[in-house]
């Protein structure tokens, strides 16, 4: 290779793209990168940014000489070879921006030109060389827009074996590559050398066209391509060049005229058309060219559209990763700001903005570089990139942000629930709060979605997370409210039970238990009345609980009523108290007449009668008090649902045994009480008798 002393912005230096051993060069990518970094405007569409031209023709037909003059390249020519006694076989590539034109100053072109020159071997070993030339032709067609077919004037019409054979190859190759789709064309530019001008160019081209059309007719066309015309796949142009040695000045002018046709898009005779281009950006072309060569070299079916898609896949994927890393992984500013903002929910909007900017930057970078590739592939990978961004942001920001947001919403809800809004029950107010939390959260998620920060299935999982937490929170608030209501009702109930039932115990009658129980049931009913719905007996504590849960609360209220009643009865009706009650009852009967006037006894017998009656009257109540039974002689059993008892309900009494409720005194206690009572009233009667004696003594 020539020493590296060229101006790379203009090109000229050539590299051996495919060597004698048919190996593809590793130099291509660096070569293109060097050019791309200084020359190629990456923003323009591929077909405007660079062009590829190859040459084709028999050995020593002056191809390299022409290319060097036309494009300012430095391909090996025979004249140079003679000096160096050496030739290097292969496919050569040279970049140029300087084309020899009729314009006096050769200003660099807007687009980059890549020129391919094929160097076959000289000499007799044609067989081996034909394989190489065939492959080179295939390759040239696969990657170029213009194929220069270099011919001597006197070759025309001769059907000279080698040359026409190769053209036939070109036809076949192009048919198999592009025939099925025929959306791609190539320009065959016939350059007729040593055209001294005796035969006009028009008759030379007519002769060529008729040979080509004949050849096309005789071609074995693959299935599906039978009806294709030559012109469906090829555009043809013909140019004559004067004899380089005999008409030197004319030759130079002819070359300049030819160069002009490659250089000015605004001119009518401009050769390049969009349909000739393979529509890959330059950064993908290297891979595309290598893939094409590998397939040709290994005699695989060369499927160019698939190759283009493969290159597009690879390249857009590479761009995807680079854009992603640049905007998220390697951007220290982004990452440090993210760390600061994520911790403070009040900075939510700034965080949101940060994520949006980073995501937009990333997508923009991807769009600029990747949109030049196959549209479908570009869009596919764009969606991939959005997914990748989405999952990165989800893990690194969105989850935390939304959890912080949820916590803030919950704190607000707790504050709101502390004060009952006017006209609303607890559960109505709670429902309102839940609705507004859902709405606020949806808004946040919609913001994420609208800015394409997350994809739809991540939205679903964020939503599910809220549902989960909200359920827990609502239950927590409901439980708290339930406890509050329960303890308030219990306290009131306890108070009213004491207030209403103690007096009944303190003044026992024979229907004491009827009175106590009916008072008790009334109080329970009273406690529950505010929670009864108007048209049915169903209870609703306004907490938003299920019917069952509401019933459970009612049961717990009843249970606590029973507990209060039990404790009160058993605490109050002690042996001493009952002795006292019996005595009160005795004294009332013994000392007072029915109209409450004190009785004055006249004799002992009268005292004995009163005494007996009063004692019986008092004793009546002892068996009544000893067991809680209604007047129809049924023992009262607390109505407490089993499931509450099974839970070993413990309160003031420890484990509650419903069957102990009714049993206040056992036989022994009754005996003790009677004995005590008898002793006391015996003293009373003694006093009474004494008082008579004393009074009669007067």
Question: Judged by CB under 6 A, does residue 193 bind ligand GDP?
Answer: yes
Q: How long, in residues, is the chain? A: 698
Distance of alpha carbon 680 from alpha carbon 686, whole angstroms: 10
Residue 372, class by beta-carbon neighbours within 10 Å (0-12 exposed, 13-18 middle, 19+ buried)?
buried
Neighbours of 462 (CB within 10 A): 22
Q: From the list 245, 419, 529, 693, which residue makes contact with ligand GDP (rule: CB under 6 A)?
A: 245
Closest Cα to residue 287, out of 320, 316, 311? 311
User: Which region, left, alpha or beta, applies to residue 216 given φ > 0 means left and ψ of -120 to 50 means alpha?
Assistant: alpha
Distance of alpha carbon 211 from alpha carbon 410, whole angstroms: 86
Nearest residue (beta carbon) to Mg ion: 64
**Residue 655 binds which entry of ligand GDP, Mg ion, none, CB below 5-8 Å type-dependent:** none
Are 539 and 530 in contact by the 8 Å Cβ rule? The answer is no
Which are the contacts of 73, defined by CB distance < 8 A and separation ≥ 6? 11, 12, 14, 67, 94, 96, 115, 117
Q: Using CB under 6 A, which residues numbered 204 to 243 contact ligand GDP?
A: 243
Q: How far is the CB of 65 from Mg ion (least distance, A)?
A: 8
Three-state DSSP class for 224?
coil
- 227 bridge partner residues: none
Question: Judged by CB under 6 A, does residue 74 bind ligand GDP?
Answer: no
Question: Judged by CB under 5 A, does residue 142 bind Mg ion?
Answer: no
Q: How far is the CB of 187 from ligand GDP (least distance, A)?
A: 20
Of 60-68, 205-213, 215-223, 485-493, the segment contacting Mg ion by CB under 5 A is 60-68
Three-state DSSP class for 654?
strand
Count the helices and strands in the chain (H runs, E runs): 23, 9
**Residue 194 binds which entry of ligand GDP, Mg ion, none, CB below 5-8 Å type-dependent:** ligand GDP
Nearest residue (beta carbon) to ligand GDP: 62
Distance of alpha carbon 598 from alpha carbon 590, whole angstroms: 9
Closest Cα to residue 91, out of 127, 125, 124, 52? 52
How many residues in the shown chain lie near ligand GDP by CB under 6 A?
Answer: 15
Q: From the list 29, 78, 504, 624, which residue makes contact with ligand GDP (rule: CB under 6 A)?
A: 78
Question: Judged by CB under 6 A, does residue 89 bind ligand GDP?
Answer: no
DSSP state of 276: G
Closest Cα to residue 407, out of 399, 397, 418? 399
Q: How far is the CB of 264 from ligand GDP (least distance, A)?
A: 25
Q: From the list 11, 46, 62, 542, which residue makes contact with ligand GDP (rule: CB under 6 A)?
A: 62
- Closer Cβ to ligand GDP, 16 or 404, answer by number: 16
Question: Judged by CB under 6 A, does residue 174 bind ligand GDP?
Answer: no
Q: From the list 135, 195, 244, 558, which residue makes contact with ligand GDP (rule: CB under 6 A)?
A: 244
Q: From the list 25, 39, 61, 64, which residue makes contact with Mg ion (rule: CB under 5 A)?
A: 64
Q: From the list 14, 39, 61, 429, which residue makes contact with ligand GDP (rule: CB under 6 A)?
A: 61
Q: Using CB under 6 A, which residues numbered 377 to 406 contact ligand GDP?
A: none
Q: How far is the CB of 136 from ligand GDP (least distance, A)?
A: 13
Would you state the structure tokens that stand for residue 617, as one six-digit string?
A: 């009257």
Three-state DSSP class for 95?
strand
Are 194 and 146 in contact by the 8 Å Cβ rule? The answer is no
- Closer Cβ to ligand GDP, 66 or 358, answer by number: 66
Of 41-49, 56-64, 425-433, 546-554, the segment contacting Mg ion by CB under 5 A is 56-64
Would you state the structure tokens that stand for residue 449, as one six-digit string?
A: 């979605």
Which are the contacts of 273, defined by CB distance < 8 A and separation ≥ 6? 145, 185, 187, 235
**Residue 59 binds which entry of ligand GDP, Mg ion, none, CB below 5-8 Å type-dependent:** ligand GDP
**Residue 95 binds which entry of ligand GDP, Mg ion, none, CB below 5-8 Å type-dependent:** none
Question: Judged by CB under 6 A, does residue 194 bind ligand GDP?
Answer: yes
Question: Judged by CB under 6 A, does residue 64 bind ligand GDP?
Answer: yes
Of 61-69, 373-381, 523-531, 555-563, the segment contacting ligand GDP by CB under 6 A is 61-69
Q: From the list 25, 65, 286, 295, which residue makes contact with ligand GDP (rule: CB under 6 A)?
A: 65
Neighbours of 67 (CB within 10 A): 26
- Closer Cβ to Mg ion, 150 or 560, answer by number: 150
Q: From the list 77, 260, 295, 482, which residue makes contact with ligand GDP (rule: CB under 6 A)?
A: 77
**Residue 79 binds which entry of ligand GDP, Mg ion, none, CB below 5-8 Å type-dependent:** ligand GDP
DSSP annotation string for 488-521: HHHHHHHHHHHHHHHHHHHS--TTHHHHHHHHHH
DSSP annotation string for 447-460: HHHHTTSS-HHHHH
Question: Judged by CB under 6 A, does residue 456 bind ligand GDP?
Answer: no
Of 73-81, 411-419, 469-477, 521-529, the segment contacting ligand GDP by CB under 6 A is 73-81
Q: How far is the CB of 115 from Mg ion (least distance, A)?
A: 12
Are 72 and 49 in contact by the 8 Å Cβ rule? The answer is no
Percent helix, strand, coil in the chain (nearest 5)?
60, 10, 30
Question: Judged by CB under 5 A, does residue 101 bind Mg ion?
Answer: no
Cα-Cα-Cα-Cα torsion 514, 516, 521, 524, nearest 10 degrees, comes to 180
Distance of alpha carbon 434 from alpha carbon 470, whole angstroms: 8
Q: How far is the CB of 201 from Mg ion (least distance, A)?
A: 24
Question: Judged by CB under 6 A, does residue 60 bind ligand GDP?
Answer: yes
Q: How far is the CB of 86 from ligand GDP (least distance, A)?
A: 13
Question: Judged by CB under 5 A, does residue 68 bind Mg ion?
Answer: no
Where does this chain bind Mg ion (CB under 5 A)? 63-64
Where does this chain bind ligand GDP (CB under 6 A)? 59-65, 77-79, 193-194, 243-245
């Amino acid at each position: 290779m020539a020493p590296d002393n060229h101006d790379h912005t203009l090109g000229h230096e050539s590299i051996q793209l495919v060597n004698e051993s048919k190996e593809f060069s590793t130099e291509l990518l660096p070569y293109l990168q060097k050019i791309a970094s200084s020359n190629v405007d990456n923003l323009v569409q591929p077909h405007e940014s660079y062009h590829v031209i190859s040459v084709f023709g028999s050995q020593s037909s002056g191809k390299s000489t022409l290319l060097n003059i036309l494009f300012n390249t430095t391909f090996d020519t025979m004249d140079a070879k003679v000096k160096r006694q050496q030739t290097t076989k292969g496919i050569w590539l040279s970049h140029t921006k300087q084309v020899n034109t009729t314009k006096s100053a050769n200003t660099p072109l807007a687009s980059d030109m890549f020129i391919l020159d094929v160097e076959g071997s000289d000499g007799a070993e044609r067989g081996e060389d034909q394989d190489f030339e065939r492959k080179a032709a295939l390759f040239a067609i696969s990657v170029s827009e213009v194929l220069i077919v270099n011919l001597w004037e006197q070759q025309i019409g001769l059907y000279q074996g080698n040359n026409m054979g190769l053209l036939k190859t070109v036809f076949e190759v192009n048919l198999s590559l592009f025939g099925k789709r025929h959306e791609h064309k190539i320009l065959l530019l016939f350059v007729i050398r040593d055209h001294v001008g005796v035969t006009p160019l028009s008759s030379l081209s007519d002769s060529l066209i008729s040979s080509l059309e004949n050849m096309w007719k005789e071609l074995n066309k693959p299935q599906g391509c039978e009806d294709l015309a030559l012109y469906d796949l090829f555009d043809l142009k013909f140019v004559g060049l004067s004899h380089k040695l005999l008409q030197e000045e004319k030759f130079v002018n002819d070359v300049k005229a030819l160069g002009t046709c490659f250089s000015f898009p605004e001119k009518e005779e401009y050769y390049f058309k969009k349909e000739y281009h393979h529509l890959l950006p330059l950064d993908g072309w290297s891979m595309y060219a290598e893939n094409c060569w590998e397939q040709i070299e290994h005699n695989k079916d060369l499927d160019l559209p698939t190759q283009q898609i493969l290159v597009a896949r690879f390249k857009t994927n590479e761009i995807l990763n680079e854009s992603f890393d640049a905007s998220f992984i390697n951007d220290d500013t982004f990452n440090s700001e993210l760390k600061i903002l994520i911790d403070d929910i009040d900075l939510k909007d700034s965080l949101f903005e940060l994520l949006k900017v980073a995501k937009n930057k990333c997508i923009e970078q991807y769009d600029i570089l990747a949109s030049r590739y196959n549209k479908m592939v570009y869009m596919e990978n764009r969606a991939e990139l959005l997914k990748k961004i989405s999952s990165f942001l989800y893990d690194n920001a969105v989850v935390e942000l939304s959890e912080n947001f949820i916590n803030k919403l919950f704190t607000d809800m707790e504050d709101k629930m502390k004060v009952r809004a006017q006209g609303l029950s607890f559960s109505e107010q709670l429902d309102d709060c839940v609705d507004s939390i859902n709405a606020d959260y949806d808004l946040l998620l919609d913001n994420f979605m609208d800015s394409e920060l997350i994809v739809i299935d991540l939205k679903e999982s964020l939503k599910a997370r809220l549902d989960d937490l909200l359920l827990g929170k609502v239950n927590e608030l409901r439980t708290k409210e339930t406890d509050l209501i329960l303890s308030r009702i219990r306290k009131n109930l306890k108070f009213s039970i004491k207030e209403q039932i103690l007096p009944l115990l303190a003044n026992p009658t024979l229907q004491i238990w009827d009175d106590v129980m009916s008072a008790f049931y009334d109080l329970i009913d009273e406690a529950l009345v505010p929670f009864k719905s108007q048209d049915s007996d169903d209870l609703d504590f306004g907490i938003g609980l299920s019917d069952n849960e509401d019933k459970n609360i009612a049961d717990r209220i009843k249970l606590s009523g029973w507990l209060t009643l039990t404790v009160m009865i058993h605490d109050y009706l002690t042996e001493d108290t009952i002795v006292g009650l019996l005595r009160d009852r005795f004294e009332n009967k013994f000392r007072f007449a029915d109209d409450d006037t004190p009785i004055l006894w006249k004799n002992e017998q009268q005292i004995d009668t009163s005494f007996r009656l009063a004692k019986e009257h008092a004793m009546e109540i002892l068996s009544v008090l000893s067991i809680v039974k209604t007047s129809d002689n049924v023992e009262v059993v607390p109505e407490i649902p089993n499931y509450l008892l099974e839970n070993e309900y413990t309160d003031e009494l420890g484990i509650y045994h419903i069957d102990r409720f009714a049993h206040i005194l056992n036989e022994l206690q009754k005996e003790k009480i009677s004995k005590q009572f008898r002793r006391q009233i015996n003293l009373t009667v003694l006093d009474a008798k004494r008082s008579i004696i004393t009074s009669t003594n007067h």
